[in-house]
Amino acid sequence: MNIRSAASSGRDEGRPSRQINIVLRNHETPAVSGTSAISESASPKSNAQIGLFQEIGGELDALVGLDNIKELVFEIYALLQVAQMRSEAGLASGGQAYHMVFKGNPGTGKTTVARIVAKLFQRMGVLTKGHLIEVERADLVGEYIGHTAQKTRDLVKKALGGILFIDEAYSLARGGDKDFGKEAIDTLVKSMEDHRSQFVLILAGYSSEIDYFLMSNPGLPSRFPIQVEFPDYTIDQLLQIAELMAKERDYILMPQAILKLKQHLLQEKDESPHAFSNARYVRNAIEKAVRSQAVRLLNQYEHNSPGKQELMTLRTEDFKL
């Protein structure tokens, strides 16, 4: 079982990128009534809500690169704001579907962005709960006829008011017509009709495989109007991510350590371009270096504390790559 509820990690370090500007409006709007978990019109925004959206913009800005995704989130934000203004002006506002496809290699930030999007939808009143249920094939597919449909329906139920994120979605279509994966797909398509506007479905996986998956059911492509590419990070971006991750943990990377990491990343990316896990690889490298540094410090300073500076410093020898 692989269901994880979202808890977005807050970041407070901004990076120069597309800034999301909050337009403060000087009049309150009527509350949206109804029981639907998703409403096109966002609820009136208090200062607290605006503050929370600023927090989301900050979280997004703290991510290295991903400019196309930052643009997309801003687009969604703008759309929701304008939908609200349109509904106040008595204009039609609605019908927009938010189901998405995230295409990209491992560790390119798909789950991280899905969590931020979930939060955005919740803050903007699009989703009532804004939680993220992250699942993969094994969570949806059962062992006998009927079991899969039940499992899938149960997960959709759990995701109502939030986001259902299906990782490696293409694996559902892998086995062809006889596979229970097909039953899961059919159930999902039906749920998207039955619970229209009550949850957002995000499919994630490698580009080519996701394209194959979308072709497996004629009802699928048109149901996912938002398709986003998560490109592999460049070496410079990976190093920026490394420094960011170190900083978040109160560590500093020595220049020589950065150089060593750079050489290693160049080699890894070159040797296994398809299996390379981008930012996740970097995170693992940093976490491993933190463990090595702890052992080194204990050996070096048997009877006293190394001092704050030394406790913070990751040296070349800590990167046993």
Q: Which of Mg ion, ligand ATP, none does residue 66 bind (CB under 5 to 8 Å by kind)?
A: ligand ATP
Q: For the segment 159-188, give every residue that binds ligand ATP (CB under 6 A).
A: 167
Enumerate the H helices of 89-219 as residue ranges. 110-123, 137-140, 147-159, 180-194, 207-215
Nearest residue to 110 via CA among 225, 243, 210, 246 = 210
63 binds, among ligand ATP, Mg ion, none (CB under 5 to 8 A by kind): ligand ATP
Of 115, 104, 105, 97, whose CA–CA distance to 60 is shortest?
115
3-class SS at 248? helix
φ, ψ for residue 230, nearest 5 deg:
-105, 100
Written as one letter, the residue type at 188 is L
Q: Which residues of 66-82 are buried (b: 16+ CB within 10 A; e: fewer)?
A: beebbebbbebbebbbe
Closer residue to ligand ATP (CB): 164 or 244: 244
Query: Does position 128 bind Mg ion by CB under 5 A?
Result: no
Choice between 93 and 171, CB closer to ligand ATP: 171
Q: How far is the CB of 79 from Mg ion (least distance, A)?
A: 25
Judged by beta carbon, residue 241 or residue 289, the one nearer ligand ATP is 241
**What is the Cα Rg of the chain in Å?**
22
CB nearer ligand ATP, residue 149 or residue 164: 164
112 scored as a contact of ligand ATP (CB under 6 A): yes
Select 167 or 183, whichever has its Cβ closest to ligand ATP: 167
Q: Please tell me the distance from the alpha carbon of residue 77 to that of residue 219, in angstroms, as a whole number.
A: 27
Q: Taking each helix axis from N to C terminus, what angle separates 110-123 and 67-88, rounded to the nearest 10 degrees?
A: 20
Long-range contacts of 299-305 (CB under 8 A, 24+ apart): none
- Is 111 one of the binding residues for Mg ion (CB under 5 A)? yes
Residue type (1 letter), 311: L
Query: Of the ranges 41-49, 107-115, 116-124, 250-258, which one interacts with ligand ATP (CB under 6 A)?
Result: 107-115
The stretch among 89-97, 155-163, 276-284, 312-320 that binds ligand ATP (CB under 6 A) is 276-284
Asked whether position 280 contacts ligand ATP by CB under 6 A, the answer is yes
120 binds, among ligand ATP, Mg ion, none (CB under 5 to 8 A by kind): none
CA 277 to chain CA mean position, Å:
15
Question: Least distance (Å) from ligand ATP to the CB of residue 8?
Answer: 10
Per-residue interface string for the shown chain with ligand ATP, residues 50-89, x marking contact by CB under 6 A:
-------------xxxx-----------------------
For binding to ligand ATP (CB under 6 A), which residues are involved? 63-66, 104, 106-112, 167, 241, 244, 279-280, 283
